Amino acid sequence: MKNDLLIKAAKGENINRYPVWIMRQAGRILPEYRAVRSSVKGFKELVKNPELCCDVTLQPVDILDVDAAIIFSDILVVPEAMGLDYEMIEQKGPWFEKTIRSEKDFELLSSKVDIEDRLGYVLEAISLTKKELNDRVPLIGFAGAPWTIFCYMIEGKGSKTFSESRKMLYTNRELAHKLLDRITNVTIDYLKAQIAHGADLVQVFDSWAGILSRQQYAEFCIPYLEKICSAISDTPVTIFSKGAILSLPDLAKLNCNTLGLDWNMEIEGVRKLVGESKTLQGNLDPCVLYSDRSAIESETKKLLNSFKSTRHIVNLGHGIYPDTDFEKVKIFINTIKSYEIK
């Protein structure tokens, strides 16, 4: 591989500069993405088209010169593969016709998901992208964390409180665990298939981690994340639990290579928890990219100066906001690339 900085950083090997990629780098910030997006009817047509997924996955590598590609897809392909179709409604977000609220709903889910059959389009996109990348940079695969996928399967849409999902943790703990375990098993098969098709690193996104107490996160999330981490060997795993500030001591014990940090998490404190056993990924506030050049440069340098270890992958602390000027993103990336590790 020509540029394997990301893999080296994830494994804690020696690096001479920090690798950088950006959550949601393939997306609305790029005019080239918007052109592809407007050539199809809906977001899902894009997700289900391997050639187009490959194209938009490569765009930020070509345009922004990031140190990794991340396959263009959606975490909700997993609940869909399990039997819950969804629509992506413009300006509103995902919407599921069926949801899981009872044992009976659960029984209707596929008990075993044939990944090649149900998610072959993602695997094909990965194979294609891997070929087109031609070993320039590593390719990242991903999935939603069991808890976050559970939230969508119960709620059927986005929510400020996810109170239906949290309700089940009190009213039917057994069903909650059964569903979380089912999602976990599918996710493991899915991530393994992504790796078999060419993913060099996989990231698990727990977008709704922040709505649970430490105790609930320890019961309903950590064991399933651990099961995923332990099932995947030889390929680095990143766990990004957004908002799980109280659970950082528990996340620090996971058998993963890298922890993703959101923009509010404090690097110094997390480093104390993990020591040199893990790489930390993140965590510039995406709002910094609304600033002018000198502010972006100084905030980025402040972040880099705060690193007391080489075990870092630079990223934002949240998916980049769609109205960000991609020229500002280049300033961020160039500041990192020209920063020498002392």
Active site positions, annotated: 24, 28, 37, 74, 152
Q: How far is the CB of 295 from a second copy (least distance, A)?
A: 6
285 near a second copy, judged by CB under 8 A: yes
User: What is the β-pairing status of strands 86-89 and 93-96?
Assistant: antiparallel
Q: How far is the CB of 89 from a second copy (least distance, A)?
A: 14
Answer left, alpha or beta for residue 24, where phi above 0 means left and psi between -120 and 50 means alpha. Answer: left
8 A C-beta contact, residue 283 and residue 261: yes
What distance in Å separates the CA atoms of residue 4 and residue 7, rounded to the nearest whole number?
Answer: 5
243 near a second copy, judged by CB under 8 A: yes
Q: How far is the CB of 237 from a second copy (least distance, A)?
A: 26
Q: Which of residues 300-329 bind a second copy (CB under 8 A)?
A: 318, 321, 323
8 A C-beta contact, residue 202 and residue 238: yes
Cβ count within 10 A of residue 225 = 26
Overall residue count recorded for the chain in this entry: 342
Q: How far is the CB of 162 from a second copy (least distance, A)?
A: 9
Of 59 and 247, which has the nearer Cβ to a second copy?
A: 247
- Tokens encoding 34: 């918007």
263 near a second copy, judged by CB under 8 A: yes
8 A C-beta contact, residue 118 and residue 112: no
DSSP state of 276: T
Of 74 and 299, which has the nearer Cβ to a second copy?
A: 299
Tell me which of 110, 213, 230, 305 binds a second copy, using CB under 8 A.
213
8 A C-beta contact, residue 285 and residue 303: no
Using the contact rule CB under 8 A, the part of the chain among 10-18, 23-31, 290-298, 305-313 near a second copy is: 290-298
Helices marked H in 145-172 — which ranges? 146-155, 163-171
Of 166 and 182, which has the nearer Cβ to a second copy?
A: 166
Of 134 and 294, which has the nearer Cβ to a second copy?
A: 294
Q: Which residues bind a second copy (CB under 8 A)?
A: 158, 160-161, 163, 166-167, 169-171, 210-214, 243, 245-246, 263-264, 266, 285-288, 290-292, 295, 299, 318, 321, 323
